[in-house]
Copies of this chain bind each other. A is one copy, B any other.
Amino acid sequence: MLLRIEFESDIPIYMQIKNQIIEGIALGMLKEGDELPSIRQLATDFGINLHTVKKAYDILKDEGFLNVHRRKGYVVTKNATADDNFIESLKKEIHPILANAYCRGMTQDEILRICKEILEQFKNKV
Which A residues fall within an 8 A CB radius of B?
A: 7-10, 12-13, 19-20, 22-23, 25-27, 62, 65, 67-72, 75, 77-78, 80-82, 86-87, 90-91, 93-106, 108, 111-112, 114-116, 118-120, 122-123, 126
Contact = CB atoms under 8 A, between A and B. Distances in A.
Q: How many copies does the complex hold?
A: 4
Q: Which of A104, A116, A123 has the most chain B CB atoms inside 10 A of its CB?
A: A104
Contact of A69 (B8, B19, B71): B8
**Overall SS of chain A's interface:** helix
Given A93-B97, A108-B123, 18 more contacts: A8-B68, A8-B69, A8-B70, A19-B99, A23-B99, A80-B104, A81-B105, A82-B106, A86-B101, A97-B97, A98-B118, A99-B122, A102-B119, A102-B122, A103-B126, A108-B116, A108-B120, A112-B112
Contacts of A68: 8, 10
